[in-house]
Amino acid sequence: MRSFIIKENDADQRLDKFVLKVAANLSPSLMYKYLRKKAIKVNGKRAEGNARLQVGDLVELYINDEFFKEKSDDFRAISYRPALSIVYEDENLMLVDKKAGVPVHADDHGTRDTLINHVLLYLYEKGEYDPKEAQSFTPALCNRLDRNTGGIVIVAKNAAAGRALYEIVKYRQVEKRYLTLALGKLPKKEATLKAYLKKDSKENKVRIINEPREGFKEIITRYRVLKEGEKTSLLEIELITGRTHQIRAHLAHIGHPVAGDLKYGTAAENRGLPFRHQALYAYSLEFKLPREHFLSYLNGRRFRVKNVYFEEFLQ
């Protein structure tokens, strides 16, 4: 049997969600069986899976130790000290400038030098996170960028911020803008592009068509030409929808792939360009929140990464 006193970072969540986090090796079906058999109790009483936990509640789990998985501290074994470029930080969240080439989470290569591990080590060394004391919450990334795309990633430092930021991202209450160097000269100085996208998970690639079709989702991409050369154009991009590889695939679809992108462009098109990764950077975000909101103090604030040097490679 193991027991847990509900802390602030565990509160205001369903009992079943909490149990599956602290007993990570327990299947949902077996957990509900334990609930029915009264092997999971709150404050000494039987409870339903949808019961909301409050600070100070006592949760008792009369289940085998094999179902519990200790929180990993693998982040402490990364190859060098926390290497973070922090755009903004307060008690609830961090905005971190992820560099191109850095994975946000562990990938098939098993690298530990991920953005999330550097975040966890940074917070551990500040005394703001300790996996031995944490029960159901771990600081988490609230948006994701491709390994080879740089830019601002939002980090929730506590559970309340995590819930709020999940909703903010889901309901597009944060406006994200990107800088990119596209190949060629675009036909218009600014435009709103519409098309339809389908993801092929097996190939980790997307397909775009111009007309609606079953299985394809609408995408809307807005661009503005900031500067242009003979071979490349510097663009600011605003995503109206946010699909996998949307900017890269959409620009390639209209004949202007992102410089350095060999997934949606070709080596021949990029000959002579100096990029090791696609020239795409999530350089700006602005919060657009209701007045009555947990993070309302961020409403209207715009955060930018200033050291994006695509312009110097304009050709």
> What are the tens digits of pLDDT across the range 231-255?
999 999 999 998 999 999 999 999 9
What's the confidence (pLDDT) of residue 178? 96
What's the confidence (pLDDT) of residue 110? 64
155 and 44 share a domain? no
249 and 165 share a domain? no
Of 67, 101, 119, the position where a domain reaches its end is 67
CATH code where residue 46 lies: 3.10.290.10
199 and 291 share a domain? yes
What's the confidence (pLDDT) of residue 80? 60
Residues of the chain short of pLDDT 50, as ranges, are none
CATH code where residue 93 lies: 3.30.2350.10
84 and 204 share a domain? no
Number of domains in the chain: 3
Of 154, 171, 188, the position where a domain reaches its end is 171
183 and 270 share a domain? yes
240 and 298 share a domain? yes
For every residue of the chain, which 3-state class applies, written as one string? CEEEECCCCCCCCEHHHHHHHHCCCCCHHHHHHHHHCCCEEECCEECCCCCECCCCCEEEECCCHHHCCCCCCHHHHCCCCCCCCEEEECCCEEEEEECCCCCCCCCCCCCCCCHHHHHHHHHHHHCCCCCCCCCCCCCEECCCCCCCCEEEEEEECCHHHHHHHHHHHHCCCEEEEEEEEEECCCCCCEEEEEEEEEEECCCCEEEEECCCCCCCEEEEEEEEEEEECCCEEEEEEEECCCCCCHHHHHHHHCCCCECCCCCCCCCCCCCCCCCCCCCEEEEEEEECCCCCCCCHHHCCCEEECCCCCHHHHCC
Could you list the residue range(s) of the whole structural domain that residue 133 is in? 74-171
Of 12, 34, 67, the position where a domain reaches its end is 67
Percent of the chain with pLDDT over 90: 73
What's the confidence (pLDDT) of residue 70? 76
